[in-house]
Amino acid sequence: MKAHLSVFAISAILIASIGVAPAFGQIQSSITVTTDMSSYSEGDTILVTGTVKDLYGVPVSVIVKAPNGNLVSIAQVTVSPDKTFSTEVTAGGSLMKATGTYTVTVQYGTENRTATASFEFSGSTTTPPTPSKVTDKTVSIEGSSDLIGYEITGGKLLSILPDVDANSLIVSISATSDGSLTLTIPRSVLDATIGGEDDDFFVLIDGEEVDFDETTSSTNRILTIAFPVGAEEIEIIGTFVVPEFGTIAAMILAVAIISIIAVSAKSRLSIIPRY
């Protein structure tokens, strides 16, 4: 009798193990993503496709990041009834310049349902914009008749170029010692607003976000930015730069929307029984 019970117990354990094993595989494969090629050149179309295991009524977030981790593109993609999704990204542009490995991350509702893919990009050869004209006190900007005033200590200001796609100004400097740069920027050249009210700029020095001081008037935004010796590039990101609205503000809005969708989906899906 004991022998029969032992055989029954072992059989039950084996059956339970067989029943549990596929569940882990289902969790791991709840979403997949791939690109149509492993490498791309400037101007190529990157086709991103994937599948989901179940339909939850929310879009898939598709995020592309550069080799240094910077955001390149972000999109909300509708899942088809056949549980597939696809979107296209154009290789190159102001946000995709560097040569290297780019990462595509997809998220479906919650951070527990994610997948990644990667591709190689050969780099951008886009012709740079017309250099700005720098005097002792002012800088002219392509696309605007208004001048940016400046004062600098510890180095020399070389140029200021607008990046329309990023809603930013790229300031090139030669820093021979620790110093500071004060820019009087007309609102017609660069501004940062939300709902008609002033918003903060993002300021990066050689890719790292830094603090700065600011005073404002009805026509100008005046920024004072401290920089270390050896600094080469200061980027000031707003919501508008001459001559048109670009993509960074749209990306920030998209990230906010994605966060709301993810939180809503997580709250709603948490009531779905797990088997």
CATH number at residue 201: 2.60.40
The reported pLDDT for the residue numbered 22 is 38
Note down the domain range covering 162.
138-244
The answer to whether residues 240 and 148 belong to one domain is: yes
The reported pLDDT for the residue numbered 112 is 84
The answer to whether residues 158 and 207 belong to one domain is: yes
The answer to whether residues 155 and 74 belong to one domain is: no
The reported pLDDT for the residue numbered 265 is 55
Q: Is residue 257 part of a domain?
A: yes
The reported pLDDT for the residue numbered 125 is 74
DSSP 11-43: HHHHHHHHHHHHHHHHHHTSEEEEES-SEE-TT
Q: Is residue 133 part of a domain?
A: no
The reported pLDDT for the residue numbered 167 is 86
Q: Is residue 5 part of a domain?
A: no
Q: Is residue 118 part of a domain?
A: yes
- Structural domains in the chain (count): 2
- List per-block mean pLDDT (blocks of 10 residues) for the chain, which spans 275 residues: 48 44 46 96 94 92 91 89 94 85 92 92 74 87 88 95 85 96 95 90 94 96 97 93 53 56 55 49
Q: Is residue 24 part of a domain?
A: no
The answer to whether residues 80 and 157 belong to one domain is: no
Q: 87-118: string of b/e by CB count within 10 Å (b at 16+)?
A: bebebbbbbbbeeeebebbbbbbbeebbbebe
Q: Is residue 25 part of a domain?
A: no
